[in-house]
């Protein structure tokens, strides 16, 4: 279900990458590996004209901009971590608790009163975690989705992201952008038994359980809140990013009510809008492929996948998953 993009939408004149299933620059005609819609989208100038392509350099530049304006992120004094045991690659599947203490020694919960945090946290209890069980979305939960989107769009970070995507001809207005955010992240689709049981937001931020294993669950706030309640048990980490401030990146092994997550990579200490914004950027720019970014001078990659079984609007795809890639 997770596949690389097979369309040239937004990709005209994009540099060659062996990860792509088809290509959208002039060389593809010579090598006979163009995407099917190459001529419709890239010849002549259309939506995806060359100046609208999001280049690798664009991604490095805009990600540094977003990193710099994450004004709601945790300060170094706001979080104290206790990573304890570092698992080797062949130990991550062992399901052994190598770390007797919690991951979080301390979190300054005053962070959670900031509007984007508060509206984000309200969303976390809106979901049935088991796939195959229909989601019952109430009017209150729809209001919570709208409120979260309203709060994140007030931030400089999301305004910068919109300005970048607007310049690249992806959205004509902020209203169009917000409407698409709501669909790609909160629109429901079926991961099991034909039930409307999942969404990108639930999978990535809240977490799901499928076939006895934790699926998704890539958010530090969710982890902290459940660990504090004794529902999540931290086992080990297999990757600790090079940052000496926040946002940091960890690859985690943990148990959620007895269900295991072999590698749950996550940003630590970033604001909700930072994660939401970077994942959105990568889903739009590099769906189904590694999206190479730069944060504070350090390289980092995000992987996103589109849900290919169902679409919305004019063939647009929901987010299936998004996560930080840990080596």
Residue range 69-121, pLDDT digits in tens:
999 999 999 999 999 999 999 999 999 999 999 999 999 999 999 999 999 99
pTM score: 0.87
How does residue 3 score in pLDDT terms, banded at 50, 70 and 90?
low
318 and 212 within one domain: yes
263 and 220 within one domain: yes
25 and 92 within one domain: no
Q: How many CB atoms lie within 10 A of CB 113?
A: 9
73 and 148 within one domain: yes
Beta strands in 116-220 (DSSP E): 208-210, 213-215
179 and 38 within one domain: no
226 and 95 within one domain: yes
Q: Does an H or E element contain 63, and which?
A: helix 56-68
30 phi and psi angles, rounded to 5 deg: -70, -40
Q: Catalytic amino acids?
A: 203, 218, 261
Residue range 53-81, pLDDT digits in tens:
888 999 999 999 999 999 999 999 999 99
252 and 201 within one domain: yes
How many domains in the chain? 2
CATH number where 27 lies:
4.10.410.20
146 and 13 within one domain: no
193 and 275 within one domain: yes
Residue 200 lies in a domain: yes
103 and 25 within one domain: no
60 and 22 within one domain: no
Contact 267, 239 (CB under 8 A): no
61 and 39 within one domain: no
Residue 51 lies in a domain: no
Q: How many CB atoms lie within 10 A of CB 324?
A: 23
Residue 36 lies in a domain: yes
Residue range 191-223, pLDDT digits in tens:
988 899 999 999 999 999 999 999 999 999 999
For residue 36, give its domain range. Answer: 1-43
Q: Is residue 116 classed exposed, middle or buried when 0-12, 13-18 and 19+ CB atoms within 10 A define those classes?
A: buried
Taking residues 160-188, report their average pLDDT.
95
* Least confidently predicted of 172-181, 267-276, 313-322: 313-322
Contact 248, 103 (CB under 8 A): no
Contact 176, 159 (CB under 8 A): no
């Amino acid at each position: 279900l997770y596949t690389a993009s097979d369309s040239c939408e937004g990709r005209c004149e994009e540099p060659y990458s062996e990860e792509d299933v088809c290509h959208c620059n002039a060389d593809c005609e010579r090598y006979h590996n163009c995407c099917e819609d190459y001529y419709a989208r890239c010849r002549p100038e259309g939506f995806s004209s060359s100046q609208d392509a999001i280049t690798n350099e664009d991604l490095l530049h805009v990600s540094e901009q977003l990193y710099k304006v994450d004004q709601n992120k945790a300060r170094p004094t706001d979080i104290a971590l206790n990573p304890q045991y570092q698992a080797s690659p062949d130990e991550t599947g062992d399901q052994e608790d190598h770390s007797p203490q919690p991951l979080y020694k301390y979190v300054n919960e005053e962070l959670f009163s900031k509007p984007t945090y508060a509206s984000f946290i309200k969303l976390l209890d809106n979901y049935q975690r088991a796939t195959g069980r229909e989601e019952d979305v109430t009017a209150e939960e729809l209001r919570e989705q709208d409120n979260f989107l309203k709060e994140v769009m007030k931030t400089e970070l999301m305004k910068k992201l919109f300005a970048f995507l607007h310049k690249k001809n992806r959205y004509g207005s902020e209203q169009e952008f917000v409407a698409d955010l709501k669909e790609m992240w909160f629109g429901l689709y079926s991961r099991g038994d034909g039930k409307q049981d999942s969404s990108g937001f639930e999978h990535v931020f809240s977490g799901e359980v499928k076939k006895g294993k934790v699926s998704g669950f890539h958010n530090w706030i969710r982890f902290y809140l459940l660990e504090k309640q004794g529902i999540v048990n931290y086992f080990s980490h297999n990757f600790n990013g090079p940052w000496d401030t926040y946002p940091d990146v960890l690859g985690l092994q943990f148990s959620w009510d007895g269900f295991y997550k072999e590698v749950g990579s996550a940003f630590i200490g970033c604001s909700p809008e930072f994660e939401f914004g970077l994942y959105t950027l990568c889903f739009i720019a590099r769906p189904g492929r590694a999206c190479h970014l730069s944060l504070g001078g350090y390289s980092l990659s995000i992987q996103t996948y589109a849900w290919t079984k169902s679409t919305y609007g004019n063939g647009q795809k929901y987010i299936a998953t998004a996560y930080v890639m840990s080596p």
